[in-house]
Amino acid sequence: MANHIDTAIWKVTDGLLTEAQDVLENEILERTDGCFNRGVADDDDSITTCEGQAEVYPLVLETIELLESLVK
> How much is the pLDDT for 72?
77
Tell me what the mean pLDDT of segment 37-54 comes to.
94
**8 Å CB contact between 11 and 24:** no
pLDDT tens column, 9-39:
999 999 999 999 999 999 999 999 999 999 9
Gap between the Cα atoms of 31 and 68, Å rounded: 20
| No. of helices (H) and no. of strands (E), the chain | 4, 0
